[in-house]
Amino acid sequence: MRNVPDPSPTTAVSSGPFVRDGFALRHVKAIFGLSLLPCLAMAVFNTGLQANRAIAAGATPLSDGRSVLLNALGVSPDPASTLNCVLFGMLYVGPLVFVCAAGAGVVETINSRLRQRRPSATWPIFGLLLALTLPPTTPLWQAFLATCFGILFGQEIFGGPGMSFLNPVLLGRAFLFFAYPAGMSGDAPWIAASFEKVDAFSGATPLASVMLGQESLSHTAWWSALIGTIPGSIGETSFVACVIGAIVLLGSGVASWRIVAGVVLGTFAAVAFFNQVGVDGNAMYALPFHWHIVTGSWAFATVFLATDASSAPFSDGGRWVYGVGIGLLAIVIRVANPVYAEGMMLAILFMNVFAPLINFVTVELHLRYRRGYRAV
Amino acid sequence: MFGEYAGLLTEAIFTQNLALSYYLGMCSFLAISRRVETALGMGLAVTFVLTVTCPLNHLLYHNLLAKGALAWIPGAAEVDLSFLMLLFLIGTIAATVQIVELTIEKVSPKLYAALGIFLPLIAVNCAILGGSLFTIERDYTLAESTVFGFGSGVGFAVAIVALAAIREQLRYSDVPAALRGLGISFIVVGLMSFGFLALSGM
């Protein structure tokens, strides 16, 4: 009876979490990186567009090497020209992505050398994802610092990707949010231009401007928020790009559709509740569902951050609970918390803390169910 | 009225969590969070003690220790016994803890053994004393201090149970040898309070 092939692997494993079917971590991360491409393209275009629009409205270009380079190349800040916007955007998005990826690569390489583990080589995706959550005005040293903090304390210290209980990218972003709040809250313009000489230009993100009472909710504004031509963190302005990413991720099974569905459900419930309650003079309470999902980082965080497999619960039921919790909490923070305009990332981080507890409860319930079953 | 208490309750549980915002009661928080069941027992014990001692200490302070509380005794209107405050608060707490300890020993010897020295040590747990001091410092009414005590206890219980679940799951992680045990727990607590920052300012 020895002609049946032994299904167990013949080589010993040395690193990383392992997935069935030879669909290994590097494949998961490759698909993940692929799904980020529409967001990256939109980030490059929109960063340039926003800056060029602001400059056309009277703001001055930031006085750093980049504007000198653009001048030397003869590229004028013209918002109507796609090529000029893309060139401008590349000079801001490119360095951010590069610095984040470099930070992640350095930390992972040093760490794997010290601990004599094989490096997981997921750091380019890590850097890309983190860079896309940052505003274009982030100083490069801050981006570097956030990456190093996130990957070291959110991932490497637990033994690499898949071993941590919270999302390391979010940890890096949250670190920046709390350590350098001045540039990160969304009240100040997230546009790569200088506004010192302009008084009347509102460069606040749509969420922040609704919160500050500068309401600008027109039909055309909603369409531009859907497509993504609004100020914001570089990768997260475009709802459409995120939906394309979602199709890739959900279609390939890399992300759990239950989490995404749960977030949508939770958001819908919370928005319906706040719309019903309503508070006079607070526009956030009245903000409808179709606005909530196109503004801020809702779409980006739902698709790319909430679905991170290692920081979400592993059971199907637990994923529903986790998703709904994120949706509810994100809207509660957006609407009821006067300090933060955006609550999506913080909500995910908060639910990350409770994901192991959700796992524990599901396992416990399952065991109880099985025991009862056997007794009968 | 009702909304105010609900606000105070959520504040005590989430935004001003004793363990994750004030870092009070860290010794038992870290020591009893290896397993979820015992963590839950510890959380319930702390909740009970806080719910009882906060209003009790409130009554004691305002009817005995505060300046002018003894005005009903002729000639004692100016007496200010608040320098005895800490002594009285700890006395109340110790008595309550004693009751809890006797009850747990009788009802669940297993939990009693698991909690070990940390059960009697609730008496000097800074989270409990902190809860009582907060009620006095913030001038809560009797009803408010009951709600606050209960909320703080639930907040501590939620935090310690979540930490225990994380630590149970960390068995599957590959933590550097030097950080295993207490070291990684300190880091985890720091990361958890990052998550709880989401609700600060509400």
Q: What is the pLDDT of residues A170-179, one digit of tens each?
A: 999 989 888 8
From CA A204, how far away is CA A208, in angstroms rounded?
A: 6
From CA A311, how far away is CA A122, in angstroms rounded?
A: 16
Shortest Cα distance, chain A CAs vs residue B195, angstroms: 4
pLDDT of residue A1: 41
Pick from B165, B166, B195: CB nearest A349? B195
The burial class, CB within 10 Å (0-12 / 13-18 / 19+), for A115 is: middle
> Is the Cα torsion angle B116, B118, B121, B122 positive or negative in sign?
negative
Residues 6+ apart with CB under 8 A from B118: B27, B28, B31, B32, B42
Tens of pLDDT along B127-168? 898 999 999 888 888 889 999 999 999 999 999 999 999 999
To the nearest 10°, report the CA torsion of B24, B27, B29, B35. 180
pLDDT at A166 over 60: yes
User: Please, are residues B198 and A350 in contact by the beta-carbon 8 Å criterion?
Assistant: yes
Which residue's structure tokens are 């459900």?
A265
Pick from B169, B197, B198: CB nearest A356? B169
Tens of pLDDT along A346-360? 899 999 999 999 999
User: Please, are residues A349 and A178 in contact by the beta-carbon 8 Å criterion?
Assistant: no
At B30, list the tokens.
Answer: 């870290």
Look at the pTM and tell me if it is higher than 0.80.
Answer: yes
User: Please, are residues A266 and A325 in contact by the beta-carbon 8 Å criterion?
Assistant: yes
Which residue's structure tokens are 């990707």?
A161
pLDDT of residue A186: 57
Alpha helices of chain A — where are they, by DSSP H? 25-56, 65-73, 82-115, 123-132, 140-154, 168-179, 181-184, 206-211, 219-227, 239-252, 257-277, 283-286, 289-292, 298-300, 316-336, 344-375
Average pLDDT over residues A143-166: 91
Mean pLDDT over each residue of chain A, to the nearest integer:
83
Contacts of residue A153 in chain B, CB cutoff 8 Å?
Answer: 187, 191
pLDDT at A14 over 70: no
pLDDT at B68 over 60: yes
- In DSSP notation, B125-165 reads -HHHHHHHHHHHHTT--HHHHHHHHHHHHHHHHHHHHHHHH
pLDDT at A160 over 90: no
Shortest Cα distance, chain A CAs vs residue B48, angstroms: 22
Shortest Cα distance, chain B CAs vs residue A220, angstroms: 32
Contacts of residue A336 in chain B, CB cutoff 8 Å?
Answer: 202
B101 touches A at CB < 8 Å: no
Contacts of residue A337 in chain B, CB cutoff 8 Å?
Answer: 199, 201-202
pLDDT of residue A167: 92
Selected residue of A111, A155, A157 to mutate for chain B interface (largest B Cβ count, 10 A): A157
Report ipTM (2 d.p.): 0.87
| A40: nearest Cα among A87, A93, A118, A4 | A93
Pick from B173, B197, B198: CB nearest A163? B173
Q: Chain A residues contacting B, CB < 8 Å?
A: 115, 117, 153-154, 157-160, 163-166, 171, 174-175, 178, 329, 333, 336-340, 343, 346-347, 349-350, 352-354, 356-357, 359-360
Contacts of residue B194 in chain A, CB cutoff 8 Å?
Answer: 166, 171, 174-175, 178, 349
To the nearest 10°, report the CA torsion of A15, A21, A24, A29. -150
Average pLDDT over residues A230-235: 84
pLDDT of residue B6: 86
Contacts of residue B196 in chain A, CB cutoff 8 Å?
Answer: 350, 353
Q: Count Cβ atoms below 10 Å from residue A290 Cβ, excluding itself.
A: 11
